[in-house]
Amino acid sequence: MAKIEGKCREVIEKAEWVAVASAGVEGPHLSGTWGDYVRALGIRDGEIILVPTAGYQTTERNLATDRRVELLWATRQVEGMHGPGKGCRVRGTGRLETSGPFFEATKEKFSWARGVLVVLVEEASEQL
């Protein structure tokens, strides 16, 4: 697994939102969440990202057949190559958990969560 470090870490710490992409028999699918939600659960060991989920039924179906997932963060609060604005793309594998320690930690902070998307980071790259 790859670690999230440097500019990518800075982007994640300041981004307002996160796009979550998965793919299934119906093609690509996008979901989203707030950056604060991900930060509240923390990035574990720089390699595991936890995303609280309420809906995410399509994402869950997709992950049952193809565990690949990509997350995209962006913020104007981090300087990019051509002015304010930087992004970070994270590629990895994911699973949606509805029990276990990650789920329990999620429920403590987000009573509305039906599960937690656990992303094992394989690659993190800067965008913009």
Q: State the pLDDT confidence band at 126, using cuts at 50, 70 and 90.
A: very high
Residue 116 token pair: 């937690």
**For residues 6-19, average pLDDT:** 94
Cβ distance 48 to 118 under 8 Å? yes
Instruction: Please check the confidence at residue 1 and state whether its pLDDT lies above 80.
Output: no
Token pair 């300087």: residue: 79
**Helices (H), ranges, the chain:** 6-14, 35-41, 57-65, 101-109
Pairwise CA distance, residues 115 & 15, whole Å: 22
Amino acid 50: pLDDT: 97
Amino acid 82: pLDDT: 86
Amino acid 21: pLDDT: 98
How do the domains of the chain map onto residue ranges? 6-127
- What is 6-127's CATH number, 3.30.110.30, 3.40.140.10, 2.30.110.10, 3.40.50.720? 2.30.110.10
Q: For 25-64, what is each residue's pLDDT tens digit?
A: 989 999 999 999 999 999 998 899 999 999 999 999 999 9
Pairwise CA distance, residues 90 & 101, whole Å: 23
